[in-house]
Amino acid sequence: MNSPDEVLEEVVSDLSGLVRADSIVGLSDAEKLAVLRRAGEALRLLEAVVVETVSSVEPGFEDAFGCRSMNELLQRALLTDASGASRVVKAARAVEREISLVSGERLPARWPALRDAMLDGGIGVAGLLAATGALDQAADRIGVEDRLRADTHLAGYARGFSAEASDAGSEPQDLAPPATPDDLRQASQYLAMVLDPDGAEPTDRDAQHQRYLTIGRIRNGVHPLRGDILPDTAAQLQLIMDAQSNPKVGGAPAPGVAFRPTEEALGDDADEDPFNADPRNVIEPRTAGQKRHDALAAALGIAARHHDMPTLAGAAPTLVVHVDAKDYAAGTGWATIPGGDTSVPLSVAAHTGCTGTIQRVLFDEGRIIGITVIDRVFTVHQRRAIIARDKECLIPGCHVSASWCEIHHVTEHARGGPTHTDNGVPLCWWHHRSLDHSGWEIRMANGVPQIRGPAWWDPDRAWRTPRSTRTPLRVSAMTSR
């Protein structure tokens, strides 16, 4: 019988010949899928070899080979990184079989059924750690009997067997595809919740101590944001980002083909429909990550001006941007944000000033000799009216709700533009921030907003009325009998 090393040497030789032969390139799609599935099985079995080997070594094994720890030895032997080696060590502990001091025999592993699933190639390191993670966190709060039942259930789930067959120990039948590590993680979390209902409080207390958020120093014009946030905070933030980022849709289309008259399909404004949508997805160039950033920026602005927000120095938390009056008038130069690490473009000051209050402070050799305040903030009543009129961000194809948007002065306040509904339009944070260099132009025609897009969007460069503002005013009269 060949030794394990000789068997693996033969496997490595065969695999090397396979990838070197360039025979995979010419396979059909179905054959490539079959290769991927078989390679996954081989990968899981190789991981089982590694884990089983590590779980069987005696204390001091790594010392004999000049390594400080098993992690270091695995990095060198497997040519993996520290994180990969750590996962192998953790998996080995989950399936380790200790030696009985009485009989000298190997005792069952802590997770015997999952170990068998690993040795069968049904589960790899990722799946094993996902299946045991949440339950191991409960430690001794889950009894041995319940842990072994969960072990049997998860092993069957990993192979795709029914829960009933797995729990009863009967001959299982394949009823579903094998579970992925994410599936096993969710199942493990559910079992931990059921078997350890009292564990939520200490877990939450631990999480409370671990929560943090830091804003790093600016680098290449951006600040790194790092932290760990609580699950409910993450869920709320995710909802805010989804509300901002996701376009309004009516659900999945019905199956089949439907024929409708052109007038019915396009509505009363069929001739202008292309200019109120984004069928080519060219108006919205942002990535998903950039959309999440802009959603957070908008949420922070809304929170800062909310009446429930605690005040600072008698006012709502206010973003202050310092800029020289001459530079602001000329539209050139830089601005500074107190507490920031660097200067910002003047456009940031213009963007901030468009939606806020400008306070002029006159200095003479360091002494404050004059203060004036210009209130250019749209009132809550004006905002409601503009939201009712425009409904969403004015830029065609952008469906951020107007209630989330900032109100933009179409004619700048500095040029005599009033803070009035006939001079205000809703723009989402990003379109407001980028308006000056985006190619979009906005004007008001008898109190109705009109927009002109860049040439790549509309070669005619015509002024067009966005769809939402063309909705006719309907007044419902109520009569009493």
**Cα(275)–Cα(273) distance, rounded to whole angstroms?**
5
What's the average model confidence in pLDDT over 96-117?
Answer: 88
Question: pLDDT tens-digit profile of 387-425?
Answer: 888 888 888 877 788 887 888 889 887 677 888 889 999
Question: pLDDT tens-digit profile of 279-303?
Answer: 555 566 667 777 777 777 777 666 6
Q: Which of 356, 348, 354 is nearest to 373 (CA)?
A: 356
106-130 b/e (C-beta count within 10 Å ≥ 16 → b): eeebbbbbbbbbbbebbbbbbbbbb
* Tokens matching residue 444: 């008001």
Q: What is the pTM of this model?
A: 0.51
**Cα(46)–Cα(41) distance, rounded to whole angstroms?**
9
**Cα(316)–Cα(420) distance, rounded to whole angstroms?**
23
Question: pLDDT tens-digit profile of 241-278?
Answer: 666 555 444 343 444 444 444 444 444 444 445 555 55
